[in-house]
Structure 1
Amino acid sequence: MLATELRISRGVVVEAYQRLIDEGLATGRTGAGTTVLGHGRGAALPSDRRRALDDLRLPLPPGDHIDLDLSPGVPDLSAFPRAQWLRAERAVLDEITAADLGYGDPGGTPRLRAELAGWLRRTRGVRAEADDIIVVGGVAQALALLAQTLHAGGVTAAAVEDPGSRGARDQMTHWGVRAEGVPVDDEGIRVDRITQSVAVLTPAHQFPIGVVLSPARRRALLAWDGLIVEDDYDAEHRYDRAPVAALQGSAPDQVAYAGSVSKSLAPGMRLGWLIAPRRMQAALLEAKHDSDLGNPAIPQLVLARLLASGDYEKHLRLVRQRQRRRRDALLAGLEQHLPEARVTGVAAGLHLLIMLESDVADTDLAKRAAAHGVLVHPLSWHRLQPGPPGLILGYAAHSPDRLAEAAKRLGRALRDEVDEPFH
């Protein structure tokens, strides 16, 4: 109808609607048409609640004028498979019994744990039975449960990658396990520099540098006599090479493996999994029970159905294609507007890192970018020890043309002084 009214081809209209959906400005459902979404900032929060939330975030510059947020770890929320989720949820509600809605196993519903065991075995090489899996509220809760259990057993410090995930580091520290940084190079974490009995790392796609733990380092780590906490945070997103298998499959008695749907579906789902050595499982289940009595049953059953039907895998294939186009657009833009930058971590994930030959602190470079409306993370925010400057760019939440615009602005921002820098 719109094509007829505007006297243009139907393909142009379809492409325009898809562009609105890609940019998160609209949502479309089969049989329900297209709906324009409200402004992403949402309703204003009370000032005391806003201050409390601000205290939990990284020290970002003022954001009222930011229109290109390239913060890492933010997935493409507009790609959430609403129709498939709704269909699966209706099917679940049709078939569940009253008992399914009661207090269940704090480790998760048996149906989801069984589906996850098969899925992780096929896709990540994980060796686990359904009873080995604890369903958690994302990797953050997995780390919290591990830290509580380790601290109760006398562990007060753990080795972490440096640079590495600041969020993971802060989570462990909050529960009494201090982070001790271990350098990361082009082969991954320096195993020979680990002095603690626990090491937390991202071996398949190191955050934020993006390197894969080399075969020699994997062998050294597996020969090391300690507990490995494996954060498989973006295992679903591989573009230019086949993913390496999870470490857990080589040493299930040595590795505590954690993953989630935060990067594949949405972080707001708060659904993840923890597979720990069996000697730790009773204590972890007790901590999980004491924390929240278990995750909500219906979302678990819906995810189980998506896994069983193949809809989850279809969704991942579509998302990978979409994210590869976005990554390529950002890379092309950086090559044009910042050719002097060294880019790493491009073969997988939802972010890349640019390393810069500069005497300017990367926090100041991030402020320059923010003054041009682009929000990025300085690499130093994720370091424990000083190191070369870099900027972490997340690309999942923006369309290719917006990413090209971001690269253009970054090139201008990092070359030119800003008239009124932030303080």
Structure 2
Amino acid sequence: MTDMTYTEPRQTGHTAGTHPRTRTPDLHLDLDLHSRRGRSDQLAAALRRAIEAGRLLPGTRLPSTRSAATDLGVARGTVVSAYHHLIAEGYLETARGSGTRVLPSMAKPPRHKPEPVRERNPWRYDFRPGAPDMTLFPRTAWVKATQRVLQTTPAEALGYGDPRGRPELRWALADYLGRSRGVVTHPDRIVICHGFTQALGLIASVLAENGVDAMSVEDPGYPHFRDVVRLAGLNTHAVEVDADGLRPEGLRGRAAVVTPIHQYPLGVPLSAERRKALVSWAEAADAVIVEDDYDGEFQYGPQKVGALQAAAPHRVIYAGTTSKTLAPGIRLAWLVVPPDWVERITNAKRVADHHSTALTQMIVADLLLSGAYDQHIRNCRDQYRMRREQLGEVLAAVAPAAWLMSENRGLHASILWSPDGPAEREVLQAARAESLALAGLGSYWGSPGGHPPGLVIGYATPPRHAYAETLNALARVLDRHFR
């Protein structure tokens, strides 16, 4: 065999097209440096076993010989010799700028094959509801806010804190919610959560601990929230929703969760008369109302409707979130609770996870205080208003027998048609043939019985550049069944 001399490759920390990495990666090896076997042979054998077992994956970068020698307490020549043997055997390779790495051809898969990584969205077009256009996320403003926070935040702010959340965010939210949504509150009555799912779970658990056995929910409504309530030990009672929103006469128990601004999924608002009736029910039943104001910022008409909470701050728990305004991945929501609920919700939050992510809270607080959050909302509002109008125009052109149930607000709209028209499943099948992801209204009902067919269109979901094509795909599907 040709004599080979191992030369330490220059490790720059990153290669072209990759993210920067640490110059000295940690490496765990099973070694017995007290045996009679040569240390170089032991090191080579340990590396070989790790590669063949699949613990060192293809492309894994090893420490430099100098770093490995220091970490293992051996001579550098020992590491050089071990690397030399494995390069000769075809287990490792060296390349200028990227260090010593495991060769893909020699690495074997682990015993238990990991689940294959599935495509996040196999659909060509996507109109499923529940998400904003993530390409509108204010990256520049977020970066600037992050830089300001990191430059000014004291170290102690990154430790364990108040379960209610960072005071910077609670003060900023008290101001924002009061002026933009008409919410009556104080920072001491705001609790920050990891999304509305956690917020609802905390509320349901507190209710269960205080002897409440059931919560009224809208029908149709979001199935996941029914599951959250049941997991906390409560039963759910379905309450009918019509063109004026939830029907208060159907309420039962001492708790209800409602979406009064833009009912999910029908999209109708709770009428003024029913708002009053809902509050009256809560007073008479000594009940609490959970107001899910998930997309209340997106109202497109001249008259904006404020939060229900202002009508009865002592009866309504107000819930808001960044999942529709920024992105679901931020995982940030807030509860505005009545005074006698503060301690109970705070204790439940402390037990659940102590507190939400401090840095994210302070970044969102900076966005609110700087005005960047309001500017982002206005930009998104203009974009979604236009999309909503275009959806209405297409529906009128290709499916005049169907109609939009929703008001001119929110991030989704429901399309309904007569039971004499096409079956909901037929429309969904046609959508699949177009590689168009749609949500049928049928999956949202919690009660059995005949329900009108329909679709729930998340017109905010497609990225801006794909909206026109997605709308054209929907037009083809509807045209096929309604012409």
| TM bracket (short chain) | 0.7 to 0.9
Among 403, 424, 441, the alignment partner of 1:362 is 424
2:311 aligned residue: 250
User: Are residues 1:223 and 2:280 paired?
Assistant: yes
Structure 1 residue 368, shift from structure 2 partner: 2.6
User: Are residues 1:299 and 2:360 paired?
Assistant: yes
1:170 aligned residue: 227
Q: 1:201 to 1:141 in 2, by over 3 A?
A: same
**Separation in 2 of the partners of 1:357 and 1:129?**
47
Q: Is the 8 A contact 1:115 1:308 kept in 2?
A: yes
Among 397, 420, 442, the alignment partner of 1:380 is 442
Q: 1:263 to 1:411 in 2, by over 3 A?
A: same
Pairs within 5 Å for 1:408-423: 408-415=475-482
Pairs within 5 Å for 1:130-209: 130-209=187-266
Q: Is the 8 A contact 1:369 1:414 kept in 2?
A: no
Identify the range of structure 1 (347-356 vs 217-226) with the bigger mean alpha-carbon deviation. Answer: 217-226
Tell me the secondary structure at the aligned position of residue 348 of structure 1.
coil
Unmatched runs of 5 consecutive residues or more in structure 2: 1-112
**Separation in 1 of the partners of 2:403 and 2:334?**
35
Structure 1 residue 185, shift from structure 2 partner: 1.1
Pairs within 5 Å for 1:231-310: 231-310=292-371
1:334 aligned residue: 395
1:72 aligned residue: 129
**Separation in 1 of the partners of 2:167 and 2:184?**
17
Q: 1:259 to 1:46 in 2, by over 3 A?
A: farther
Q: What are the Cα deviations for residues 111-168 of structure 1, in whole angstroms up to 9, with x where unaligned? A: 1000000100001111110010000111111101001111111222111111112222
**Separation in 2 of the partners of 1:365 and 1:346?**
23
Q: Which amino acid aligns with 1:70?
A: F
Tell me the secondary structure at the aligned position of residue 47 of structure 1.
coil
Structure 1 residue 188, shift from structure 2 partner: 1.0
Q: Is the 8 A contact 1:338 1:411 kept in 2?
A: yes
Q: 1:176 to 1:413 in 2, by over 3 A?
A: farther
Q: Is the 8 A contact 1:327 1:346 kept in 2?
A: no
Q: Is the 8 A contact 1:395 1:403 kept in 2?
A: no
Q: Is the 8 A contact 1:369 1:413 kept in 2?
A: no
Q: 1:394 to 1:220 in 2, by over 3 A?
A: same
Q: 1:205 to 1:241 in 2, by over 3 A?
A: farther
Among 123, 126, 136, the alignment partner of 2:183 is 126
Q: Which amino acid aligns with 2:164?
A: G
**Separation in 1 of the partners of 2:431 and 2:292?**
30
**Separation in 1 of the partners of 2:396 and 2:479?**
13
**Separation in 2 of the partners of 1:383 and 1:131?**
37
Q: 1:371 to 1:178 in 2, by over 3 A?
A: farther
Structure 1 residue 404, shift from structure 2 partner: 2.8
**Separation in 1 of the partners of 2:230 and 2:436?**
30
**Separation in 2 of the partners of 1:371 and 1:49?**
24
**Separation in 2 of the partners of 1:302 and 1:213?**
33
Among 86, 97, 114, the alignment partner of 2:171 is 114
**Separation in 2 of the partners of 1:207 and 1:243?**
18
Structure 1 residue 290, shift from structure 2 partner: 1.0
Tell me the secondary structure at the aligned position of residue 394 of structure 2.
helix
Q: Is the 8 A contact 1:329 1:403 kept in 2?
A: no
Larger Rg belongs to: 2
**Separation in 2 of the partners of 1:414 and 1:394?**
20
Q: What are the Cα deviations for residues 17-71 of structure 1, in whole angstroms up to 9, with x where unaligned? A: xxxxxxxxxxxxxxxxxxxxxxxxxxxx943997xxx9xxxxxxxx74x211111
Q: Is the 8 A contact 2:178 2:185 kept in 1?
A: yes
What TM-score, normalized by structure 1, do the two folds share?
Answer: 0.81
Unmatched runs of 5 consecutive residues or more in structure 1: 1-44, 55-62, 417-423
User: Are residues 1:100 and 2:100 paired?
Assistant: no
**Separation in 2 of the partners of 1:361 and 1:171?**
31
Identify the range of structure 1 (174-183 vs 357-366) with the bigger mean alpha-carbon deviation. Answer: 357-366
Considering Cα pairs closer than 8 Å and 6+ residues apart, tell me whether 1 or 2 has the greater RCO: 1
2:455 aligned residue: 391
Q: Is the 8 A contact 2:134 2:326 kept in 1?
A: yes
Q: Is the 8 A contact 2:217 2:258 kept in 1?
A: yes
What TM-score, normalized by structure 2, do the two folds share?
Answer: 0.72
